[in-house]
Amino acid sequence: MKHKIVVTGGLGFIGSHVVVELQNEGFEVVIIDDLSNSSEAVLKGITAITGIQPVFEKLDLRDKNLVIDFFKRHHDVMGVIHFAASKAVGESVNLPLLYYENNLNTLIYILQELHKKEAAHLIFSSSCTVYGQADVLPITESAPIKAAESPYGNTKQIGEEIISDTCKVSDNLKAIALRYFNPIGAHESAKIGELPIGTPQNLVPFITQTGKGLRAELSVFGNDYPTEDGTCVRDYIHVVDLAKAHVAALKRLIGGANADNYEVFNIGTGKGSSVLEVITAFEEVSNQKLNYKLVDRRAGDVVAAYADTTKANNVLGWKAKLNLKDALASAWKWEQSLK
Ligand code: UD1
């Protein structure tokens, strides 16, 4: 029998790629999404890739009674991969309560239902933002958690603590938090990808939209950082590699291979790239020059962050296979496929 897995936020950027990889690996997927930052059309893309239409329920996880009812109807759920959350850093500063409600209440309601089950497995989507500006690079999972720069970042830190505390008192619940570095790219089929609403806040969608002529130019935020070329350094991870890490984590839990009931893994490539290196790589894969200008630093940006992926490689048995150019080529193909 197929294991039934719930993917909350399964129509979003990362969620949709995870649904594809789960289906490819033989899992039965039920998607929950409130469509607040996604579109039902993503279902078509998933189905076109895998040939399997996942079950989809439009549901607002902030409504506790709806969550209780969902798990009653789907009593055979083996695990939950929880993406449903708000993710705009700047917006979270202005709307902190919305972020705490969206990102933490929903997590608590899901945990309350999983806690009731005989066996339950949870994968939580966390972020390298929990490390802030790490003192040592590359960043290992034992690097100290720094005070969050934004309510968004805080919801990731508190979310991890809520799960860790719950796992301590719940023998039946096992969980893994994956701390993503910078997810970019799209499925190679260009049938699913990132769909930013309005002006993209993240680097790669802004680059591809500029390459396509939808934006006049990219602003590079700061060129006086203490890095080789003065621009910030990040670890850009292909979303398909990232999606595969979720399947590896889920299999680890379901197979009972976990060392603790709550575990944390960094998910990145281990390689840092500067903003200018990303631009150059994009110019190469798109075979065109990109319009950009150097402007002041953006508030809240850390200088450099890239992962030590030793734990994910050795313990999870997962390693990123695709590189920056692969990811940018897929993001460019996706951008060009959009009307
Ligand atoms: C951001 C969030 C992080 C979140 C992640 C999700 C902040 C401070 N951090 O990471 O918490 O987990 O998104 O994907 O917002 N850049 C430009 N021009 C642009 C856009 C970005 O130069 O128009 C630069 C930034 O200064 C940064 C790099 O590109 O150096 C990457 O930026 P971005 O894609 O926004 O990701 P992060 O800021 O690393």
Ramachandran region of residue 106, left (φ > 0), alpha (ψ -120 to 50) or beta?
alpha
Rounded to whole angstroms, what are the CA distances from 290 to 197, 209, 275? 22, 10, 12
Q: Which of the listed residues 92, 99, 139, 202 should we mutate to test ligand 1's pocket, taking the one with most ligand atoms within 8 A of CB?
A: 202
Indicate if 243 and 318 belong to the same structural domain.
no
Considering 152, 180, 262, 306, which one is annotated as catalytic? 152
Q: Which domain holds residue 263?
A: 4-184+236-267
Check whether residue 167 and residue 22 sit in a common domain.
yes
Amino acid at 89: V
Residue 106 lies in a domain: yes
The answer to whether residue 208 scores a pLDDT higher than 90 is yes
pLDDT tens digits for range 269-304: 999 999 999 999 999 999 999 999 999 999 999 999
- Summarize pLDDT for 13-55 with one digit per residue, the tens: 999 999 999 999 999 999 999 999 999 999 999 999 999 999 9
Tell me, what's the pLDDT at 1? 76
Ligand 1 atom at minimum distance from 184 CA: 14
Give the pair of three-digit tokens for residue 60: 């607002």
Q: Quick check: is 40 in a domain?
A: yes
Q: What sign for the dihedral angle of Cα 328, 329, 333, 334?
A: negative
Mean pLDDT of 200-225: 98
- For residue 152, indicate whether it is catalytic: yes
Interval 180-189: pLDDT, tens: 999 999 999 9
Question: Are 108 and 162 in contact, with CB atoms under 8 Å apart?
Answer: yes
Ligand 1 pocket residues where CB is under 6 Å: 89, 127, 129, 153, 182, 201-203, 206, 218-221, 232, 234, 275, 298, 300-301
Residue whose Cα lies nearest atom 1 of ligand 1: it is 202
Distance between Cα 182 and ligand 1 center (Å) = 8
Of 213, 245, 267, the residue that ends a domain is 267
Q: What is the mean pLDDT of residues 99-117?
A: 97
pLDDT of residue 170: 92
Q: Across the strands, what pairs with 8? A: 32, 82
Atom 4 in ligand 1: which residue has the minimum CA distance? 129
Closest CA to 232 of 301, 330, 333: 301
Mean per-residue pLDDT, 63-73? 98
Residue 70 included in any domain? yes
Could you tell me the distance, in angstroms and rounded to a whole number, from the CA of residue 76 to the centre of ligand 1? Answer: 39
pLDDT at residue 64 in the model: 98
Report the chain's mean pLDDT, rounded to a whole number. Answer: 97
Do 16 and 108 belong to one domain?
Answer: yes
Residues 14 and 99 in one domain: yes
- Domain ends where: 223, 245, 267? 267
Residues 173, 279: one domain?
no
Could you tell me the CATH number of the domain that includes residue 329? 3.90.25.10
pLDDT at residue 164, as a whole number: 98
What pLDDT band is residue 339 in, cutting at 50, 70 and 90? Answer: confident
Say if residue 245 is in the same domain as residue 118. Answer: yes
Residue nearest to atom 11 of ligand 1 (CA): 129
Asked if residue 196 is part of any domain, the answer here is no
Whether 123 and 82 have beta carbons less than 8 Å apart is answered as yes
In a domain, 224, yes or no: yes
Q: Give the predicted TM-score (pTM) of the model.
A: 0.97
Do 175 and 220 fall into the same domain? Answer: no
Count: domains in the chain: 2
- Together in a domain, 292 and 261: no
Mutual angle of helices 203-212 and 275-286, in 10-degree steps:
40
CA distance 114 to 106: 12
- For 144, the token pair is 């100290």
The confidence band for 105, taking pLDDT boundaries of 50, 70 and 90, is very high
The answer to the question of residue 255 being in a domain is yes
Within a domain: 115: yes
- Where is 264: in which H helix or E strand? strand 262-267
Residue 169 sits in the same domain as residue 302: no
pLDDT tens profile 40-50 = 999 999 999 99
182 CA: nearest ligand 1 atom: 14
pLDDT score at 304: 98
Select from 182, 236, 274 the residue to mutate for testing ligand 1; criterion: most ligand atoms less than 8 Å from CB.
182
- Asked if the structure places residue 189 within a domain, the reply is no
